[in-house]
Amino acid sequence: MSNIRAAFQKGKAFIPFITCGDPDLETTGKIVRAAAENGADLIELGIPFSDPTAEGPVIQGANLRALAGGVTTDQIFDFVRELRQDVKIPLVFMTYANVVFSYGAEKFISTCAEVGIDGIILPDLPFEEKGEFQPICTQYDVALISLIAPTSHQRIAMIAKEAEGFLYVVSSLGVTGTRSRITTDLAAIVEAIRENTEIPCAIGFGISTPEQAGKMASISDGAIVGSAIIKLIEKYGREAAEPVGAYVREMKSAAAGKGSAALSAN
C-alpha cells in the first residue's frame, strides 16, 4: 500500500497545508512536527511561487514572505531530507508547474523520491497537460495528485479513472481562502468520483472551522486546510508551532467525527 493510501486508513484524514520558508525553514520544521504530533495524517508542503494564481490573498502572502526570506527549491529539498529523519507521515508538495519545469521535471521528481516526498499537487496542471510529468512520476513512484472542481461535471470520470495518491476535491469556485459557507453539492461530486475510483478523496478550499472540517470529512475521506493555518503562522510567526499544533488537534478531532457536541455548543 502506498504511503499516501495509508494516511486514509486511520479514519477520516486531516491534511494541513504549510508554506515552506514562511517565515523561515526552521519555523516550518517546528510547525510540521507539531502538526504531525497532533494528528495530521498527511501534510501538504507548499514550495513558494512568485505568482500563485490559484491562491487567495492569505496564501499569496505566505508565498511572498517565504520568497522574501530567500527560500529556494534546493533548500526545501534539504529541509525535507532532514525532516524525514523523524517525520513519518506522508508528505506531498504543492507548488506550480513552473517550479517543477524550471528545475527540470526529471531532476525535481527524482529528488522528491530521494528525499521522501510521496506526491505532488500542481494546481495549474490540469488533466490535459499531465502527460509531460506523469511518466516521470510513475517511474519514481511519486503520486501526481489530481484536482476535481465544482465545474468539472463530465470530466470527473476521466480524471478519477487515472487518479493516484488521493483526489483533491475543490469545494468552491474561486481561489484558496476561508469561506463562511460552502454551497457546492459535494456529496454528488464524491459519489461521481467513487463510481470511478477506489482512491480516497479529500475536500479543500474554504475550510477553517472544526464544524466545516467535520462536515467535509463526513461526505469524503478527509479535509484539507490551508489559509486558516497560514493565518496562524502569519499571526504568531516563529512562535506558530504551538497554536498550529492545537488547531490541528482540534480539526483532526472534528474531521474524525469526535467532539461535535462541544462544537455545536459554541
Partner 1 sequence: MMNRTNGRFGIHGGQYIPETLMNAVIELEQAYDFYKNDPAFNRELTELFNEYAGRPSRLYYAEKLTKALGGAKIYLKREDLNHTGSHKINNVLGQALLAKKMGKTRLIAETGAGQHGVATATAAALLDMECVVFMGEEDTKRQALNVYRMRLLGAEVIPVTTGTATLKDAVSEAMREWTSRIDDTHYCLGSVMGPHPFPTIVRDFQAVISREIKAQLLEKEGRLPDAVIACVGGGSNAMGSFYHFIEDKEVRLIGCEAAGRGIDTFETAATINTGRPGIFHGMKSYFCQDAYGQIAPVYSISAGLDYPGIGPEHAYLHDIGRAEYVPVTDEEAVEAFEFLSRTEGIIPAIESAHAVAHAVKIAPTMDKDKIIVITVSGRGDKDCAAIARYRGEDIYE
C-alpha 66/C-alpha 70 separation (Å) is: 7
Binding flag, residue 50, partner 1 (CB under 8 A): yes
Nearest Cα residue to 119 out of 151, 91, 87: 91
Q: Which is nearer to partner 1, 174 or 237 (CB)?
A: 174
C-alpha 165/C-alpha 180 separation (Å) is: 29
Binding flag, residue 119, partner 1 (CB under 8 A): no
Binding flag, residue 225, partner 1 (CB under 8 A): no
Dihedrals phi, psi of 94, to nearest 5 degrees: -125, 115
Residues 136-165 contacting partner 1, CB under 8 A: 146-153, 155, 158-159
Binding flag, residue 127, partner 1 (CB under 8 A): yes
Closest distance to partner 1 from the beta carbon of 143 (Å):
17
Rounded to 5°, angle at Cα 76 from 140 and 7: 55
User: Which residue in 126, 135, 243, 259 binds partner 1 (CB under 8 A)?
Assistant: 126
In the block, cell 514572505 appears at: 65
Q: Over the range 30-43, which residues count as b (16 or more CB within 10 Å of their CB) and which as e?
A: bbbbbbbebbbbbb
Q: Pattern 180-219, binding to partner 1, x per CB under 8 A?
A: ----------------------------------------
Closest distance to partner 1 from the beta carbon of 134 (Å):
14
Q: What are the E-state strand segments in 95-189?
A: 119-121, 143-145, 147-148, 167-170
Closest distance to partner 1 from the beta carbon of 11 (Å):
27
C-alpha 98/C-alpha 105 separation (Å) is: 10
Binding flag, residue 174, partner 1 (CB under 8 A): yes
Cβ atoms of 145 and 119 within 8 Å: the answer is yes
Closest distance to partner 1 from the beta carbon of 106 (Å):
15
User: Which residue in 3, 19, 28, 60 binds partner 1 (CB under 8 A)?
Assistant: 60
Closest distance to partner 1 from the beta carbon of 195 (Å):
18
Burial of 81 (0-12, 13-18, 19+ CB in 10 A): middle
Which range of residues in 85-93, 127-135, 186-194, 219-227 is near partner 1 by CB under 8 A? 127-135
C-alpha 40/C-alpha 178 separation (Å) is: 19
Closest distance to partner 1 from the beta carbon of 253 (Å):
30
Chain positions contacting partner 1, by CB under 8 A: 49-51, 53-54, 56-57, 60, 64, 67, 72-74, 96-99, 101-103, 123-129, 146-153, 155, 158-159, 170, 173-175
